[in-house]
Amino acid sequence: MIALLLAAQAMPQSLLGPADEANGAYVQCLFATSRAAHSARLGVEDFERKLSSSCLAEEEAVVRTGIPLLRLKGVANPAWAARQEAQDARRSVVDTYRMTLQLRP
């Protein structure tokens, strides 16, 4: 999602502010869930299950605020693209969690 915001530099502040806030809340929620799972020593599969039901309101806010930005950028299907970006963020957190477990002694 950060890439989306960087690419949207010429966008109106009235769209960027809410999108930036939503993105920050989503990322914070994803990583808080990751930290909690790490503290609980969850395996990757358990973490993925936990994450799949976490941060749903934050994800919806990211999608909702991202659609107008993507529309202004001329993206053909902004709703799909916004949802895809949100899912990519989730996958990235899972990948990071997996790598962290591999490095854990």
Q: What is the dihedral of CA 27, 29, 30, 35, to 10 degrees?
A: 120
Q: What is the pLDDT of residue 15?
A: 67
Confidence of residue 103 (pLDDT cuts 50, 70, 90): confident
Stronger pLDDT, 39 or 105, i.e. the higher one: 39
**Side-chain half-sphere exposure of 49, counting CA atoms within 13 A:** 5
3 pLDDT tier (thresholds 50, 70, 90) = low
Number of C-beta neighbours around residue 60 at 10 A: 14
What is the rounded average pLDDT of the residues 31-43? Answer: 95
Instruction: Return phi, psi of residue 76, to 5°.
Output: -60, -45
Contacts of 22 (CB under 8 A, 6+ apart): 58, 61, 62, 64, 65, 66
